[in-house]
Structure 1
Amino acid sequence: MSAQDQALCPSLPKTPDGHGLSAALTLLFAIAVGVIVTNLFAPQTLVGAIGASFGLPEAASGLVAMAPLLGYAAGLLLLVPLADLVENRALVLRMLSCAILTAALVAFAPGLPALLILMAALGAACSAIQILVPIAAGMVSPARRGAVIGDVMSGLMAGILLARPLASLIADAWGWRAFFAVSAGAMALLTLVLAGNLPRRQPQARTSYPSLLASLWHLLRQEQVLRRRALSAALVMASFSLIWTVVALRLVQPPFLLGQRGIALFALAGAGGALATPFFGRFGDRGWTRPATLTSHLLMLAALALLGWAGTSDHLAMPVALAGLVLGIILLDIGVVGDQTLGRRAVNLLQPEARARLNGLFVGIFFLGGALGSALAGLSWAWSGWLGSCAAAAVFGLAALVVGYRE
């Protein structure tokens, strides 16, 4: 590494090999990222309620789900690099304080423009997740990194998948605004716990914030693994976000006719996919990254075919069709979990001195894919309904398979 690269990639304090992260602290990391991430995905199941509240047409409903994801991507590219410059514990706590404030303001948003701006700001503050994950990864030896990332990611994926049923249940009882009020309270409690337990992580900064941002392009050009895994993850996330945005619209139609409580139970069943997260981390540690990645993509395509069939077949009894949708969504979630976990592990094995920026680039790029999928969801639903939406999601999944095959 050149002197210029070293200046842009400050070294971090070493942790004891394999002994820097206790089981209790691992659990805290997993819970923390799970609580925070609910703010990003709950809007996908609330699009109908929020749209009705502000008179939003179906074709534009994807904007509600897109705003926090777009803000999150911006936070990953503009805020997360600060973790290579300033003390991480203080940075995380400040970002969570901003998240608490914006979530509370979303609960009282007076109109659609204010709502979208506040949800984007909330998404940006929630990028604190990607400071917590590298902290955990840096506290163990490379041989254990995949397992630890898988354990922490299980909390993240549980949060992603449980966000929808929780949001639906709260909205069914007290309205969609109540979810964000509850979220603000949960993050306030989490911030207090983290303040007393999160270890300090002080980078030995030898550069400026503008130089750190400029180095992002350098890192993206330098690391082929980062480019490929980020592209694959973006395509997978686009497929995932598209389906989860439109499935709430499909379930309220015949023959399902589910209310918010029924949608919540459906989403809760889909959360079972998070159980696969630790296994994929261990597959990577055993050197099975490529076959496990390809299996994840093939599983996604099979799931989308099942979802398309179960959601449009006129010959199936409603319980059978609903069971097909539940199985399809679980398989889709497992495929997404596999790609994300293996990609995150590969990126965390690159340059430890630039781990925060590498994570910021990786997750920022794949959340841009998620924002794209959410934005396209309303259009695909308005133009071609459920089957067209599944086909659009399959195009993204097929593209991810091609990228993974060429790896």
Structure 2
Amino acid sequence: MSSLPITQAAPAGATVSNTAGPQAAASASAPGAAAQESLSGGLILLLALGTGVSVASLYYSQPMLGVLSGAIHASERQVGMVPTLTQLGYALGLLLLAPLGDRYDRRNIILIKGAILALSLLAAGLAPSLGFLLAASLAVGLTATMAQDLVPAAATLAPVQHRGRVVGIVMTGLLLGILLSRVISGVVAEQFGWRAMYVGAAVGIAVIGVALWRGLPRFAPTTSLSYGALMGSLFSLWRQHPALRRAAVAQGLLSLGFSAFWSTLAVMLHEAPFHMGSAAAGSFGLAGAAGALAAPLAGRIADRNGPESVTRLGAGLAALSFLAMAFAPLLPDTHSKIMLIVAAAIGFDFGIQATLVAHQTIVYGIDPGARSRLNALLFTSVFVGMSVGAALGSLALAQWGWMGVVGLTTLAAVGSLLVRLTARRR
């Protein structure tokens, strides 16, 4: 990747120093000075890698629950609290910690979170009891929000004309981190034990932290609000910016459909006519690779044609892909049914991830001085959509079976498309 020239004003959240380590503070220019930086391909790769490695921390425990249950002498229900508390910590971190990127030097926040995340993963790997592991899991979730500091950092560093492409590349790292985390965790836990997975993850975060300390420039704070006022400004931003509300609602609806499908897939495949095990359901996760491919492509299209068109195309593709699965019961054999579901999963995953990158491009352009808070609001809506989708998906499956889930996911995607079409008319 070639270097991208940057000319950003410090009050808009631009870097004020490209030095790192002990000399960085002395090199910072006064607030308000224009910053001349070079966003190299190496720095973009570092941001993408850091995002992927940090968000992967949320998912390492999931394939290891069976091993954990016997290793720490806990019931399956008790061990199930490990990923639950990790996700709860991430939700709290999104809401309570992510906005701090506007108040303080985002570089310092990233480094502090990285250090605590490495220690939390190490504590999980050395946990002598279930209670200790649960506490460490909550801390992992809170500090894994480091990923949501790196994405706004990339948007701030990128020149406006290339912001979509840069955000897309960094989001590719995030999506690959989610996709590969379970695979890596399962293999490492089986070969070397669950503790080795946590310790190895801690070492990986520490290495990335050192690289970020050396390579990440400083960022000028864009506000001097107190923490209470900073949190209160989230409501003000929500009220003031219709574009933010539309992006959050549209992406939240897509996340609802996404979660409703994936949270019920294993149950659906277990029943007639498929009669397939959990391993087969897990292999469907490889369709997530489509999302990783969608992110940089969507960013380039957003830079060239505008993000609005990408949101409509992405939501439309997701709606058509969900609807296509309604025809699966009509196909003559199980193999054909499976192929249709795989194709549909690739289609809606591509559409949803492309729309997310476009929504990020829109949101980051609303108010450069509030990017961390805007990002927190956008991803809080995504998390809420995922949670609601899991609950409604289970209800729809219990009441109406396969067609109930297909109907729910299709309606959610159509709702998202209508939100984007309404934005176009306005």
Q: Are the structure 2 counterparts of residues 375 and 100 from structure 1 closer, same or farther at C-alpha, using a change threshold of 3 Å? A: farther
1:315 to 318, 332, 338: 332
Q: TM-score, normalised by structure 2?
A: 0.79
Q: Please give the residue correspondences for 1:267-278 in structure 2 after superposition, counting only pairs within 5 Å.
A: 267-278=285-296
Contact 1:161 1:271 in 2 (8 A): yes
Deviations 1:79-98 (A, max 9, x none): 11211222222211211222
What residue identity is the alignment partner of 1:257?
M
| RMSD (Å), alpha carbons | 3.5
| Number of the residue aligned with 1:3 | none
Alpha-carbon separation, structure 2, partners of 1:139 and 1:96: 20
Alpha-carbon separation, structure 1, partners of 2:361 and 2:333: 41
| Number of the residue aligned with 1:360 | 376
What residue identity is the alignment partner of 1:315?
P
| Number of the residue aligned with 1:12 | 13
Contact 1:165 1:266 in 2 (8 A): no
Q: Please give the residue correspondences for 1:4-403 in structure 2 after superposition, counting only pairs within 5 Å.
A: 11-13=12-14, 19-41=37-59, 54-56=75-77, 67-106=85-124, 108=127, 110-111=129-130, 118-170=136-188, 179-203=197-221, 205-251=223-269, 255=274, 257-258=276-277, 260=279, 262-307=280-325, 309-310=327-328, 315-317=332-334, 319-381=335-397, 385-403=401-419
Deviation at 1:387, TM superposition (A): 4.2
Alpha-carbon separation, structure 1, partners of 2:399 and 2:195: 29
Q: Are the structure 2 counterparts of residues 368 and 115 from structure 1 closer, same or farther at C-alpha, using a change threshold of 3 Å? A: farther
Deviation at 1:33, TM superposition (A): 0.8
Contact 1:92 1:131 in 2 (8 A): yes
Contact 2:93 2:143 in 1 (8 A): yes
Specify the SS of the correspondent of 2:305: coil
Alpha-carbon separation, structure 1, partners of 2:307 and 2:45: 25
Contact 2:89 2:141 in 1 (8 A): yes
Rg larger in structure: 2
Alpha-carbon separation, structure 2, partners of 1:280 and 1:344: 11
Alpha-carbon separation, structure 1, partners of 2:253 and 2:64: 23
Deviations 1:130-185 (A, max 9, x none): 21112111112211111211121121222233334434545665677765454334
Q: Are the structure 2 counterparts of residues 20 and 212 from structure 1 closer, same or farther at C-alpha, using a change threshold of 3 Å? A: farther
Alpha-carbon separation, structure 2, partners of 1:258 and 1:316: 18
Deviation at 1:249, TM superposition (A): 4.1
Q: Percent identity?
A: 31
Worse overlay, 21-30 or 262-271: 262-271
Specify the SS of the correspondent of 1:282: helix
Deviations 1:340-379 (A, max 9, x none): 0000000111111121111122222222222332344555
Alpha-carbon separation, structure 2, partners of 1:90 and 1:101: 17
Deviation at 1:309, TM superposition (A): 4.5
Deviation at 1:23, TM superposition (A): 0.6
What residue identity is the alignment partner of 1:158?
L
Q: Are the structure 2 counterparts of residues 289 and 263 from structure 1 closer, same or farther at C-alpha, using a change threshold of 3 Å? A: same
Deviation at 1:128, TM superposition (A): 1.3
What residue identity is the alignment partner of 1:223?
H
Unaligned runs of 5+ in 2: 1-9, 17-33
Q: Are the structure 2 counterparts of residues 323 and 185 from structure 1 closer, same or farther at C-alpha, using a change threshold of 3 Å? A: farther
Alpha-carbon separation, structure 1, partners of 2:375 and 2:301: 20
Deviation at 1:119, TM superposition (A): 4.0
Alpha-carbon separation, structure 1, partners of 2:309 and 2:54: 31
Contact 2:65 2:76 in 1 (8 A): no
Alpha-carbon separation, structure 2, partners of 1:234 and 1:43: 25
Q: TM-score, normalised by structure 1?
A: 0.82
Specify the SS of the correspondent of 1:20: strand
Contact 2:14 2:156 in 1 (8 A): no
What residue identity is the alignment partner of 2:13?
L
Alpha-carbon separation, structure 2, partners of 1:300 and 1:288: 19
Alpha-carbon separation, structure 2, partners of 1:384 and 1:174: 43
Alpha-carbon separation, structure 2, partners of 1:378 and 1:117: 29
| Number of the residue aligned with 1:4 | none
Contact 1:17 1:140 in 2 (8 A): no
Contact 1:81 1:356 in 2 (8 A): yes
What residue identity is the alignment partner of 2:169?
D
Task: Point out which structure has higher relative CO (alpha carbons under 8 A, 6+ apart).
Answer: 1
